[in-house]
Chains A and B, each alone.
Chain A
């Protein structure tokens, strides 16, 4: 399979096989007008299979939020066709307007312009809670 090399953008590698579309949707990549490739079930020496996403632009989003979905993925930043940075996203301490609180009793359900803020409360369990009502974050 031939996919154009990226000049300036990102490659999200080592995505757990089957999770690629979740990350594609989470980053709202469908709305971009640049080249975007989602490769499913690529062969992986470590995991057997993996998904990969290539985007020919650096999206304007905190990519560390991807750590909430899968902390094992690798983010590669490409500039002028050269990889300039490679890292695993860390679990962000705080996520604003990335998750929506599902608790019907939470103040966010009635204060329309209030940002939805979740903070990391248990790093081992990857647990986030709403700063207002302390409800556990919904899965993405």
Chain B
């Protein structure tokens, strides 16, 4: 694989192979500790990030490789007006693989067209974030034993939340999944995502009531409802607490439900739920590192 720009660049077989490798890394980390010895990852973060940047860097170090790069545009030549294309042509001379986050949508695609080494999109604005989706899929498989035949609830900002769109697209490739989309009217899933589900004959329902939806779910994927998405503050105040997950709301949920969130969380999952064995959002962070390790291996070694 040359570069990973969107989750659509991977087919079901690629994703399954990555998850198999990640499972093996979890089971036998020592076997992978020197796989990338002598290789360098360029971590080009044109905007701040906690989880994703550290996850990529930790992934490369745990494979025995090294990391170079920057964590904000101001400490790169982008501050002097250098183009993305020129930056990656330069970096291609120093590194074996690039992980790039950029505030502009499409920047990693532009980078992949100029780089002579593989480029991984580590998030381009609100557009694509394929390694988050890989972390999400791997977490579901680790926790539920499968990524098919599941009732998956997605809750919160389903209009602008690209993470949710990618997850729905990825899960719709697997047999037997159905979706329950929980959001305020103002933040419903865009029509093109629903069209994608219809085209693939994936059943879904839409509701505004989280409590009512909870009992049937195998997976609940929470996202943040952001104040700035509402036209008026009154609507926000009316709705904001409807989409906050509390221990009381969870009373009607299945015992083997898994609760996920791409993080950062603000208040949409009560801290009291962190102790609940169904809470998986910090496992997602760890699983994201394993999937990034598997991805780096696949891209640099063709390992599956």
Contact = CB atoms under 8 A, between A and B. Distances in A.
A105 B109 contact: no
A109 B127 contact: no
B34 interface: no
A130 to B, nearest CB: 7
Contact of A132 (B83, B85, B105, B126): B105
B4 interface: no
Given A105-B125, A105-B126, A110 B109 contact: no
B292 to A, nearest CB: 23
B64 interface: no
Interface in B112-148: 124-127
B104 A106 contact: yes
A138 B194 CA distance: 22
A107 B107 contact: yes
A29 interface: no
Contacts, number: 45
Find the residue from A107, A109, A133 having the highest chain B CB count within 10 A.
Answer: A107
B103 interface: yes
B136 to A, nearest CB: 20
Contacts of A114: 85, 110
B85 A106 contact: no
Find the residue from A110, A113, A134 having the highest chain B CB count within 10 A.
Answer: A110
A131 B106 contact: yes
Interface in A87-140: 103, 105-114, 130-135
Contacts of A133: 105-106, 125, 127
B138 to A, nearest CB: 25
Contact of B84 (A105, A106, A111): A111
B105 A107 contact: yes
B144 to A, nearest CB: 30
Interface in B151-165: none
Find the residue from B84, B103, B110 having the highest chain A CB count within 10 A.
Answer: B110
Interface string B170-207: 00000000000000000000000000000000000000
A108 B126 CA distance: 16
Contacts of B103: 105
Contact of B104 (A105, A113, A131, A134): A105
Contacts of A107: 84, 102, 104-107, 109-110, 124
A112 B84 CA distance: 11
A113 to B, nearest CB: 8
Interface of A: 103, 105-114, 130-135
26 contacts: A103-B105, A105-B103, A105-B105, A105-B125, A107-B104, A107-B105, A107-B106, A107-B107, A107-B109, A107-B110, A107-B124, A108-B106, A110-B104, A111-B84, A111-B110, A113-B83, A132-B105, A132-B106, A132-B107, A132-B110, A133-B105, A133-B106, A133-B125, A133-B127, A134-B105, A134-B127
Interface of B: 83-85, 102-107, 109-110, 124-127
